Amino acid sequence: MPASPDIRARRLDPIAVRAALRRMARAPQPPWLHGEVARRMAEKLELILLQPERVIDWWSALGAGAALLERAYPKARQLRIEPDARWAERSRTQALRPWWTASRWTGGELQVALEGGEIAPGAGLVWANMMLHAVVDPVALIERWHGLLRVDGFVMFSCLGPGTLRELRTLYERLGWPAPTPGFVDMHDLGDMLVQAGFADPVMDQETLTLRWNSPQALLAELRTLGGNTAPDRAAGLRTPRWRARLERELEALAAPDGALGLSFEVAYGHAFKAAPRLRADQPTTVSLDDMRAMVRSSHGRSKAP
């Protein structure tokens, strides 16, 4: 995927992102937070009446929402898109359905592919859970999602927002250390990106989740499972045991009266529909047969989340 020319403004190092993905692929499970956000996002599907015949699950294994999508759309064809070969192999393993399960015989077709390859358009849903904050050029990706959807199909995604780990950023700033997080895109800017890409009726929402740990060691261990610091201006090289001990002492000073350490995670949610192309009198417009059929189906109406 081409990177924006303003990588410094985005404050996200693509090399560090790839390294984090390789490390996370070795973990036995995706992060707990990803599974929880996927569950909350899947609840929003109940507000949408459209029943997609084809679902694209972007960074599926890391997003931890594949089982939820199969449950919501058991007859839909599922295409799981992964960022690299390691994640693709993991996704294929997870996709194996035991012969005795009903989904093996009644479920829709299931495939796995890499995001860098060719992907056929015409999907009814593009789902992307907890991955857009790890993309250097979200505008290009959102535009790609728009091209993969059929008319009246919809995108649904979640990602971390600017309020994420604000307590940790304040601590690092006070100590004069480089920022501990990459840059996060504001929810309203994500909505603007959806409109810029051609989506209609974008709906954005956000919530702040507070995770708590009983020790600095447990806190730091879980943060590492979430990918670590992928900012280009992070500290260069490895930190010393002395630095680690100081960080743990500083974190202990932030503990609540009950001894728990809490950090905030801002989660942004978004969904939008692909509208029919607008006809202009001065320019011929070509509409595919599949899109014409989709426009006819859309005349039955759709439900939009508030």
CATH 3.40.50.150 fits 12-298, yes or no: yes
Tell me the pLDDT tens digit for each residue of 244-253. 999 999 999 9
pLDDT for the residue 8: 57
Q: Which two tokens stand for residue 62?
A: 């890391």
- Mean pLDDT computed over 6-26: 87
C-alpha–C-alpha distance, residues 36 and 14, integer Å: 26
Name which of 118, 137, 130 is nearest 156 in CA terms: 130
Distances (CA, A) of 81 to 36, 88, 125, 129, 281: 20, 8, 13, 12, 38
Instruction: Please name which of 98, 93, 95 lies closest in space to residue 69, comparing C-alpha atoms.
Output: 95
Q: What is the largest CA-CA distance in the chain?
A: 70
Q: Work out the average pLDDT over 142-155.
A: 98
**Token pair for residue 122?**
């015409």
List of residues 6+ apart from 115 with CB closer than 8 A: 1, 58, 59, 81, 82, 83
**How far, in Å, CA of 286 to CA of 292, rounded?**
10
**pLDDT confidence tier of residue 105, bands split at 50, 70 and 90:** very low
Res 278: pLDDT: 72
- The pLDDT of residue 60 is 98
* Interval 28-65: pLDDT, tens: 999 999 999 999 999 999 999 999 999 999 999 999 99
Q: Which of 102-106, 198-202, 203-207, 237-241 has the lowest mean pLDDT?
A: 102-106
Domain boundaries, given as residue ranges, for the chain: 12-298
Per-residue pLDDT at 1: 40
Cα–Cα distance measured from residue 168 to residue 37, given in angstroms and rounded to the nearest whole number: 21
> How distant, in Å, are the alpha carbons of 58, 156, 207 from that of 256?
38, 36, 22
**Which among 69, 61, 19, 10 is positioned nearest to 39, based on CA atoms?**
69
Name the DSSP class of 177. Answer: P
Mean pLDDT of the residues in the chain: 88
Rounded to the nearest 5°, which phi and psi values hold at 73?
A: -130, 75
Cα distance between residue 177 and residue 169, in whole Å = 9
Which is nearest to 1 in space by CA: 65, 58, 56? 58
Q: What is the average per-residue pLDDT within 82-106?
A: 75
pLDDT band for 235, please (50, 70, 90 cuts): confident
Tokens 């899109």 belong to 291
The pLDDT score that the predictor gives to residue 306 is 36
